Chains A and B, each alone.
Chain A
């Protein structure tokens, strides 16, 4: 971060210079105040290789994603960002013939630990998909799904979760009178917010988002981006996006991947105003990819 010292204006600086400095002082502030104390290595990816049968899709990825921050994964199609994301909650286990080398740790514990139940891992991580996928159930049942599969039956706990999650997802006011309508009766943007509410219902620590706005119109996109900035206070968010400006708007760190390799990983402001690597510069300015 910049060092800003408040020196008095010298005689030679005309009135215009003061405005300049004040503007710069504002620019020096981070986008939103960081959490007071957070774990800078909540998610640690260590020399991670990933293979679909014979093909290697991720090469030696090492990343540290801090707690209660938004990390964006950007890169051209096929660069492995979605694959990396889906490895964080081991969704790739569903595919036949995958293997990996290296490790991914959350809070210092490897997610591939033999004693770790995948289901318990997924309960601590929420995921929002590119195409919103609400269940063909009521809005209420959609939100409490994770609690129900975990065995929670207490109605008051469920009610409280529904209200809290829908409020956090900025959907409560729109649906509070029709919680028992089908989740599929909502608009596209509302459905995606419902999926977000569902993902955060069980109070996971980490939220994974795979291009959550790519199927939405600008108004819905703006709502969800705003939401992510709010959610950042309570959750660690990893988001894959194709939209450079979106990543610039909402993320704190950005990782640029290309052909399965990590090219650059830095503060978002640096990546998007003055990236170190030429490949990153070329991608970000649209010269390729």
Chain B
């Protein structure tokens, strides 16, 4: 009986052998961890800063020392939302300061730009004599000029009537008035936008028709009667326009009748028409639940309202809509082209040097800088194609270009061109992964090559094709550079898809989240005020891309379950 070997300390028989390559496992996991940490950090930063923009903050009123250099237009007492508290970055030599003790400074959002000329103010904490958080402070969101922060004094009605702020019915009255003002504003908007807009469109059509008729008349045809018809129509429309304009004017006047008088913390008294107030609240009187409610309201406004005040206030709904619409149009454009090109390359073309060359060219197209696509889009789509369309179909509108200028159509097509290589490559891979067996099976059943592709190969390759679409959407939704040349605009009053015929306005310029971020960050007049919006918009853009991708992933999963055959 041979002597039994005893297991050694590690529980194995024989010399302990380290499994080779363990170190690489750690290396790979570290790589993954590093990547994850970066993503988490970035997302965290964006989320925190973005959400911060919506959280209603308290307003503090500070009284500075008499000799403080941080007075605000001479006033030693002023206040605002506390936005930052940090160690002082720039060290100014002060006689009374001790270089060892860290200086704290804080930043206040003092609002009231119409009075102070600025929105944010830094001041040393050391210079503060006293602070308080008055409960009566109100933050007013105004139509323009940015927000106002102050204490309401009274409501001034038309004539001499007024309602003091300490009156019992003051809060309710103010609320009612602001609500009324908002409704009136909506009505004005409706009249001016929709009704007047419609009349204007009809008037324009009439003028164009007149012009065409005049051109025909010049060439001899006798259509004076037709021209004559136009005049009465025009007057009728004109009359209607007058009525509406009058109504609007009346409403606007009403907006101006009631005024609110308030005092800034630095002492100045100001008056504002109630019609100019969009929303107000008492920052220092909010309970926890109210704060959350306000927070949610802010987010809602952000998502659904139009921008105001050079894009620093209000919402960014048009940008959301524009991004979404453009990505959708781009997907609709890229899918057929990409898929059909891939089908031809993979299934029909004789595999040889030419096809390989085409494939290489397509792959390289993916590496071209996106701005180059923008330039190409500008030259080819906008000037050439757009110009030709204009001269053929919209000559009566010239020299105002319809399609001869940037618009959502050209932008979508440009981006489609940019993302087509991705779709082609992914589709080719997906087609190649469909096993020869099912293809032969289909042909043996008497199907033609096209029927085989249409009925068997494409459904089986669908998950992979959708992967290509996801990648294309992700790339396209985030690109900004080419868009700047072919169709985005800082601000546009209309959406590319709305209720007026022809409902989809392909020639219209549009707003885009990516461009909005650039615009806010670098081109807005008040960079500090725009910072929260930048983060919020970034967060939104990321969220939008994630939602689009998730949608495509869900569809792909469903397809994969039904057609599980390939490797995708």
- Could you tell me the distance between the alpha carbons of A126 and B440 in the complex, rounded to whole angstroms? 12
The secondary-structure label for the interface of chain B is: helix
Q: Is the CB of B447 within 8 A of A145?
A: yes
Assess whether A136 is in contact with B446, with CB atoms less than 8 Å apart.
Answer: no
A145 & B445 in contact (Cβ 8 Å cutoff): yes
B151, chain A: closest CB distance, angstroms: 71
Question: Are A133 and B441 in contact (CB-based, < 8 A)?
Answer: yes
A161 located at the interface, meaning its Cβ lies under 8 Å from any Cβ of chain B in the complex: no
- On whether the beta carbons of A129 and B446 are closer than 8 Å, the reply is no
Q: Mark A185-217, 1 if CB is under 8 A from B, else 0.
A: 000000000010011001000000000000000
- Judge whether A179 is part of the interface by a CB distance below 8 angstroms: no
The answer to whether A202 and B445 touch across the interface, beta carbons within 8 angstroms, is: yes
Residue of A nearest to B434 (CB): A136
Which single residue of chain A is at the shortest CB-CB distance from B456? Answer: A135
Query: Is B562 in contact with A202, judged by CB distance below 8 angstroms?
Result: no
Residues of B within 8 A of A122 (CB): 443-446
**CB of A82, distance to nearest CB on chain B (Å):** 12
Encode contact with A along B422-448: 1 for CB under 8 Å, 0 otherwise: 000000000000010110111111111
Contact across chains for B455 and A145 when beta carbons are under 8 A apart: yes
Contact B443 A136 (CB under 8 A): no
Task: Knowing A135-B456, A136-B565, say if A149 contacts B438 (CB, 8 Å).
Answer: no
Neighbour of B446 across the interface among A94, A123, A195, CB < 8 A: A123
Count chain A CB atoms within 10 A of each CB in B438, B459, B460 and give the residue with the most. B438
Decide yes or no whether B451 CB sits under 8 A from chain A.
yes
Assuming A91-B443, A129-B441, A195-B441, is B565 touching A149 (CB within 8 A)? no
Interface 0/1 of B543-568, CB less than 8 Å to A: 00000000000000000001111000
A149 touches B446 (CB 8 A): yes
> How many chain-B residues does the 8 Å CB contact rule pick out?
21
Q: Judging by beta carbons under 8 Å apart, are A146 and B443 in contact? A: no
Interface status of A98 (Cβ within 8 A of chain B):
no
Docked complex Cα distance between A43 and B16 (Å): 69
Say yes or no: A149-B455 contact (C-beta < 8 A), given A135-B442, A195-B441: yes
Mark out the residues of chain A between 112 and 133 whose CB falls within 8 Å of any chain B CB in the assembled complex. Answer: 119-120, 122-123, 125-127, 129, 131, 133
Q: Which of A91, A120, A131, A150 contacts B444 (CB 8 A)?
A: A91
When each residue 132-149 of chain A gets 1 if its CB lies under 8 Å from chain B and 0 otherwise, what string results?
A: 011111000000011011
Instruction: Kindly list chain B residues whose C-beta atoms are within 8 Å of the C-beta of A182.
Output: 562, 564
A136 lies within 8 A of B442 (CB): no
Q: Is the CB of B445 within 8 A of A94?
A: no
Is A253 at the interface (CB under 8 A from chain B)? no
A183 to B435, CA, bound (A): 16
Determine the chain A residues whose CB is within 8 A of the CB of B447 once the complex forms.
Answer: 119, 145-146, 149
Q: Take A133-B435, A133-B437 as given contacts and tell me if A120 and B446 are in contact as well, using a CB distance cutoff of 8 Å.
A: yes
| B565 close to A184 (CB less than 8 A) | yes
User: Which chain B residues in 445-463 approach chain A with CB under 8 Å?
Assistant: 445-448, 451, 455-456, 459-460
How many A residues are at the interface, by size bracket?
20 to 34
User: What is the CA–CA distance of A70 and B442 in the complex, to the nearest angstrom?
Assistant: 24
From A119, A120, A149, name the one whose CB has the most chain B CB atoms within 10 angstroms: A149
Once the chains bind, are A202 and B440 in contact (CB under 8 Å)? no
Q: Which residue of A lies closest to B560 (CB)?
A: A136
Q: How distant is the Cα of A52 from the Cα of B113 in the complex, in angstroms?
A: 85
Q: Are A91 and B442 in contact (CB under 8 A)?
A: no
CA distance A199 to B445 in the complex (A): 7
- Bound Cα distance from A119 to B451, whole angstroms: 11
For B443, the chain A residues whose CB sits under 8 A away are 91, 94, 122
| Distance between Cα atoms of A198 and B442 in the complex (Å) | 10
Contacts of A123 in B (CB 8 A): 445-446
Cβ–Cβ contact B438 & A136, under 8 A? yes
Which A residues lie within 8 Å of B438 (CB)?
A: 133-136
A182 to B565, CA, bound (A): 11
Assembled-state Cα–Cα distance A148/B455 (Å): 10
Which residues of chain B have C-beta atoms less than 8 A from A127's C-beta? 441, 444
Given that A120-B446, A150-B446 are contacting pairs, would A136 and B564 also be in contact in the complex, using a CB cutoff of 8 Å?
yes
Task: Name the contact of A135 in the complex, choosing from B441, B448, B451 (C-beta under 8 A).
Answer: B441
Which residues from chain B contact A241 at a C-beta distance below 8 Å?
none
Q: Does A89 contact B (CB under 8 A)?
A: yes
Q: Contact at A136–B455, with CB atoms within 8 Å?
A: no
Knowing A149-B451, A182-B562, A184-B564, say if A136 contacts B459 (CB, 8 Å).
yes
Residues of B within 8 A of A129 (CB): 437, 440-441, 444
What is the chain B residue whose CB lies nearest that of A125?
B444
Closest to A148 in B: B455
Most buried by A among B435, B441, B446, B563: B446
- Using Cβ atoms and an 8 Å threshold, which residues of chain A touch B565? 136, 184
Write out the residue numbers on chain B whose beta carbons fall within 8 Å of the beta carbon of A199.
444-445
- Residues of chain A lying within 8 A (CB to CB) of residue B455: 135, 145, 148-149
Q: Are the CB atoms of A146 and B440 closer together than 8 Å?
A: no
Question: What are the interface flags for B22-46 relative to A under an 8 Å C-beta threshold, 1 for contact and 0 otherwise?
Answer: 0000000000000000000000000
Cα distance, A134 to B441, chains bound together (Å):
8
Q: Which residues of A contact B445 (CB under 8 A)?
A: 122-123, 126, 145-146, 149, 198-199, 202
- Cα distance A127–B444 in the bound complex, in angstroms: 6
Which residues in B have their C-beta under 8 angstroms from that of A120? 446
> CB-defined interface of B239-282 with A at 8 Å, one 1/0 digit per residue?
00000000000000000000000000000000000000000000
Q: Which residues of chain A come closer than 8 Å to B562, judged between CB atoms? A: 136, 182
B527 CB to closest chain A CB (Å) equals: 56
Task: State in angstroms the CA–CA spacing of A198 and B446 once bound together.
Answer: 11
Interface CB pairs A-B, < 8 A, 26: A91-B440, A120-B446, A122-B443, A122-B445, A126-B444, A126-B445, A127-B444, A129-B437, A129-B441, A131-B437, A133-B440, A133-B441, A135-B438, A136-B456, A136-B459, A136-B562, A136-B563, A136-B564, A145-B447, A149-B445, A149-B447, A149-B448, A195-B441, A198-B441, A199-B445, A202-B446
What are the nearest 10 A-B pairs in CB distance? A123-B446, A133-B437, A127-B444, A149-B447, A136-B563, A146-B445, A133-B441, A122-B446, A136-B565, A149-B451
Q: A122-B443, A199-B444 are in contact. List 9 more A-B contacts (CB 8 A).
A: A91-B444, A119-B448, A123-B445, A123-B446, A129-B444, A136-B459, A136-B564, A150-B446, A195-B441
